[in-house]
Structure 1
Amino acid sequence: MLREPGDSRQERPVAKSAKDMVARARAKVENLDPAAVAAELERGAVLVDLRDHPELAAAGRIPGSVHVPRGMLEFRADPTSPYHDEALDPTKRVVLHCASGGRSALAAATLQEMGYAHVAHLDGGFAAWAEEGRPVETV
């Protein structure tokens, strides 16, 4: 946190950094490379894009992906929620991705906690997908 000169507020230590949380999530979830995600899509997996609208508009999206902004994931994934998205089914294979893999690792761990047994994430995110020259469509 940046402070102005003379700011006397005590700085509180962070118990867990975002980097630590992502590392722990990656250790708990299935991490897939772009080739593995492409194979999952061919087998009928649901691919969930967690990025925000401006990110999709700027970079495009993976064809066939379902857009669920990270802030809405738990509500869209919960079958009892009025915001539930029918594409998200705890019994189906669900693969998540974000821009680089941090948010999707955290989100995959969250879905596991919610009872999703067949969840994974695209390690390296959309950036890894695009770097390999895999299909991208404009939004």
Structure 2
Amino acid sequence: MAKTAMDLVQAAKAAIQEVSVSQAQQMLREDSIALDVREPVEFEAGHIADARHIPRGLLEFMVGNHPDFQDKTRSIVVYCKSGGRAALATATLQQLGYSNVVNVIGGYDAWQAGS
């Protein structure tokens, strides 16, 4: 039986760590990197201060060459609009060897509501 996009998101969420907005804010105060995986138009409309931007569709191809992501042990806080793309991106980063990656529950929508 074929899987749906939501099936893939749920499988990713089962394999990753998720944090609340307040936990993410604390992590960013402690030198974690914010990674926005939304599309360019979404990023340009607003984003977390100092966030790095790599769209989800290009993540596997760009992250290894990005200077801020050379240390695979550095803490990364991943977000998208509501959490689905970021869950997939977080799982992908783990598969690529990044060991300290979390997804923000509720994504940028929750961030805006909570900040």
- What RMSD in Å do the two structures reach over aligned CA positions? 1.1
- Determine if the alignment matches structure 1 residue 41 to structure 2 residue 22: no
- Structure with the largest fraction of helix: 2
SS at match of 1:87: helix
Using structure 1 for the length normalisation, give the TM-score. Answer: 0.78
Picking from 95, 98, 104, the partner of 2:77 is: 95
Counterpart for residue 130 of structure 1: 112
Counterpart for residue 61 of structure 1: 47
The 4+ residue runs of structure 1 with deviation greater than 6 A are none
Contact 2:81-2:106 at 8 Å conserved across structures: yes
The structure having more radius of gyration, on CA atoms, is 1
Identity of matched residues, %: 38
Counterpart for residue 108 of structure 1: 90
- Greater RCO (Cα-Cα under 8 Å, separation 6 or more): 2
Picking from 66, 69, 73, the partner of 1:85 is: 66
Is there any run of 5+ residues in structure 1 with no aligned partner, and where? 1-13, 79-83, 135-139
Is there any run of 5+ residues in structure 2 with no aligned partner, and where? none
